[in-house]
């Protein structure tokens, strides 16, 4: 049977387990299903479940990095808590990780078998978002969603309404930005107003690029 835990985030910050992943950026509020199969990360999962239940998913920016070793990682990452898990008979795990916060990482000396870091929670900067900037973002979402649905009818660009702007910008980045480098860029931006500008810029570029790939555009 799957388990469920409610960890204390603060307890994890002194020695936070790191899970480097290429192409994945964990935002606060994002639910990330994971299949853990490498022995070192299975042990990491067991250790987390026995203590605070937290793991940091860290983006690996280099596409050619050796994921079997210690690839270069970004210093800003998402910290998540394991809200559901199932340990399989062979020691692998299925889990659901939910992002809780942005953290700045200060990696600790390596201790077998996985990497750890001292972490500091990063707060969002209070910044005024002008209504015209928000309208521009929503227009970019609509335009991108329209062309994306023509290529994939199952694609749903809908972002829940009523979210605080910080959570709204994170949801947009997690769900709509196609390139992990751009998602990481949003994760590393403390100002919500600046995130809105980045999202509008990137979604406009994605709209243009996808529009060029449609058969009727060629």
Domain coordinates in residue numbering, the chain: 9-122, 131-217
Q: Binning pLDDT at 50, 70 and 90, where does residue 207 land? A: very high
Angle of helix 192-213 relative to helix 131-151, nearest 10 degrees, comes to: 30
- CA angle 54/100/85 to nearest 5° reads 45
Single out the residue of 97, 1, 93 nearest to residue 54, CA to CA: 97
Residues 180-203 have pLDDT tens digits of 999 999 999 999 999 999 999 999
Residues of 100-139 as b/e, b for ≥16 C-beta within 10 angstroms?
A: bbbbebebeeeeeebbbbebeeeebeeeebeeeebebbee
pLDDT at residue 111 greater than cutoff 60: yes
- Is the pLDDT at 89 greater than 50? The verdict is yes
pLDDT of residue 161: 85
pLDDT value at residue 2? 53
Q: Which residue has the higher pLDDT, 217 or 63?
A: 63
> Is the pLDDT score of 48 beyond 90?
yes
CATH topology (fold) of 9-122:
2.30.130
Least-confidence region, from 1-5, 21-25, 90-94: 1-5
pLDDT of residue 218: 45
Q: pLDDT tens, 138-181?
A: 999 999 999 999 999 999 999 988 999 999 999 999 999 999 99
Is residue 24 pLDDT above 90, yes or no? yes
User: What is the distance of C-alpha 163 from the center of its chain?
Assistant: 18
Pairing of strands 54-59, 93-107: unpaired
* Across 56-83, average pLDDT: 91
Q: What is the mean pLDDT of residues 27-36?
A: 97
User: Rounded to a whole number, what is the largest CA-CA distance in the chain?
Assistant: 56
CB of 172 closer than 8 Å to CB of 160: no
Determine the Cα angle at 55 with ends 53 and 57, to 5°: 155
Cα distance between residue 30 and residue 147, in whole Å: 25
The mean of the pLDDT values for the chain is: 92
Is a pLDDT exceeding 80 seen at residue 79?
yes
pLDDT of residue 132: 97
State pTM to two decimals.
0.91
User: Residue 118 pLDDT > 60, yes or no?
Assistant: yes
Is the pLDDT at 110 greater than 50? The verdict is yes
Grade residue 1 by pLDDT with cuts at 50, 70 and 90. Answer: very low
Is residue 36 a contact partner of residue 93, using CB atoms and an 8 Å limit? yes
SS3 84: strand
Q: If residue 6 lies in a helix (H) or strand (E), which one and from where to where? A: none
């Amino acid at each position: 049977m799957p388990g469920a835990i409610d960890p204390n985030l603060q307890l994890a910050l002194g020695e936070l387990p790191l899970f480097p992943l290429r192409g994945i950026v964990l935002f606060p509020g994002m639910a990330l299903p994971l299949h853990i199969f490498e022995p070192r990360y299975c042990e990491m999962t067991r250790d987390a479940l026995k203590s605070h239940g937290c793991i940091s998913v860290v983006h690996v920016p280099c596409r050619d990095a050796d994921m079997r070793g210690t690839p270069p990682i970004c210093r800003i990452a998402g910290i998540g808590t394991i809200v559901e898990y199932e340990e399989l008979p062979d020691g692998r795990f299925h889990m659901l990780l939910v992002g809780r916060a942005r953290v700045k990482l200060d990696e600790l000396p390596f201790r077998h078998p996985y990497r750890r870091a001292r972490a500091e929670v990063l707060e969002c900067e209070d910044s005024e978002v002008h209504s015209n900037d928000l309208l521009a973002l929503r227009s970019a979402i609509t335009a991108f969603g329209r062309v994306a649905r023509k290529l994939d009818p199952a694609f749903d660009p809908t972002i829940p309404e009523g979210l605080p702007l910080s959570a709204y910008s994170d949801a947009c980045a997690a769900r709509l930005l196609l390139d992990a480098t751009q998602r990481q860029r949003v994760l590393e931006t403390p100002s919500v107003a600046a995130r809105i500008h980045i999202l509008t810029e990137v979604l406009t570029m994605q709209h243009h690029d996808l529009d060029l790939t449609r058969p009727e555009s060629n």
